[in-house]
Amino acid sequence: ARVAAVIGWPVSHSRSPRLHGTWLERHGIDGAYVPLAVRPEDAEAALRALPRLGFAGANVTVPHKETAFAVADILTERARRMGAVNTLVVQPDGRLLGDNTDGFGFLENLRQGCPAFDLPARPAVVLGAGGAARGVVAALLEAGCPEVRLLNRTEARAQALAQDLGGLVRVFPWTALPQALEGAGLLANATSLGMQGQPPLAVDLAGLDRSVLVTDLVYVPLETDLLARARANGNPVVDGLGMLLHQARPGFEAWFGVAPTVDEALRRAVL
C-alpha cells in the first residue's frame, strides 16, 4: 500500500485526512493518508525520514512549510517563488521533490466556482500580506491579472510583498478599500479575519459593483460575514473550502497515480 501524510503542529484540525481518505475510497486505492503531529524542533528530521519510512510523500502545513522548502532536494518553480512547500513527493531515487500547490488551488477554485470570471480583464484586490496572501498574489500575477491591489493592516508588510513580487502590485492603505475596488474584478480576503474565533472582516462594501467576484480563503465558517454580505449585495461569491480541495489534487495524483476531482459530494464529505 502507498502511504502519504499531512505533517503539522498541531495537525488534529486538518481536513486533509478526510479529503484524501474520501478519494482513496472512491477510487478503490490500496493506500492510506495519515495525520502526523510533529513538533517544530523535530520537523527537519521527520521530513528527511519520509523516504526511509516508505512514504510516497506528504502535505506539509503550518508551521513547517518553510522547513519543507529547506529540506526538499528538488523544487518546482512555483515552490521556489513562494519560498514555501506544501507538498512533498518522494522520487524513485529517494530524493524529496518540493512543490507548492496553494496558488493552483486558489485559481482552480475560482475557475470551478465561477466559470464566467475573466481573470486577465480587470485588477484584483487582495486583503492581507501573510503567507496565504503571498500565494494568492503570485498565482494571480502568473495567471495574467493586469494589476493586484494589496491592502494590509500593517502596510509595511504589503510593501515588502509588493517589492518581492514585482511591479504589477500596487499597495493601498488599509482604509482605502472603496478606492481600490474601483474598476476591480475580484476581491479576495487572505487575512485571518472572519475565521471562527477571530473578529469579522469589517470592511465597507458600500458601492461594491455587483460584477465583482468575492472570495474568502477562510472556510470555517464556510459562509463568512464577507461572503454573506457580498451575496446579499448580488455579487458572485466563491467560498474558501474549494481552495483546500483543489490544492490537494496534485499531491494525490503524484502519490497514488489517479487524478482526483472536486465535486459537491466531496465538499460534504470533508465538511
Q: Least distance to ligand ATR from the beta carbon of 179, Å?
A: 18
d(CA 112, CA 91): 31
Would you say 22 or 152 has its CB closer to ligand ATR? 152
Would you say 29 or 203 has its CB closer to ligand ATR? 203
Say which of 64, 65, 149, 249 is annotated catalytic.
Answer: 65
Give the nearest residue (CB) to ligand ATR: 130
Would you say 32 or 160 has its CB closer to ligand ATR? 160
Annotation marks residue 87 as catalytic: no
List contacts with ligand ATR (CB under 6 A). Answer: 128-133, 152-154, 157, 191-193, 199
Q: Least distance to ligand ATR from the beta carbon of 65, Å?
A: 9
Q: Least distance to ligand ATR from the beta carbon of 152, Å?
A: 5
Would you say 132 or 213 has its CB closer to ligand ATR? 132
Q: Least distance to ligand ATR from the beta carbon of 30, Å?
A: 35
The residues assigned a catalytic role are 65
